Amino acid sequence: MAIAVRLDELLHARRMTLTDLAETVGITLANLSVLKTGKGRAIRFSTLDAICTALACQPGDIFVHVPGVAED
């Protein structure tokens, strides 16, 4: 996919687990895992806002465009 998800890097930098983030944001670990692996096809702005608040980051810190990568 042309959009890469950098959630692992952000969690590592903040010494936070995916479980911690799921509890803080209030979404299931399964849904957060789908997002983290890049298999998600959509994200609600309210969820993105909650993740950015929890990680003290911007949406562009989570998602990056990778030119030249074909979409699935």
pLDDT tens figures, 16-44: 999 999 999 999 999 999 999 989 889 99
CA distances from residue 5 to 10, 13, 50, 56 in whole angstroms, order as listed? 10, 15, 16, 16
CA distances from residue 37 to 45, 50, 62 in whole angstroms, order as listed? 19, 18, 12
Cα separation, 54 vs 69, in Å, equals 29
Q: Which position has the higher pLDDT, 45 or 67? A: 45
Structural domains of the chain, ranges and CATH numbers in brackets: 3-65 (1.10.260.40)
Please state, for a pLDDT cut of 90, what percent of the chain lies above it: 82
pLDDT of residue 72: 56
Residue 62 · residue 10 · CB < 8 Å: yes
* Both structure tokens of 49: 């806002």
Cα separation, 69 vs 4, in Å, equals 10
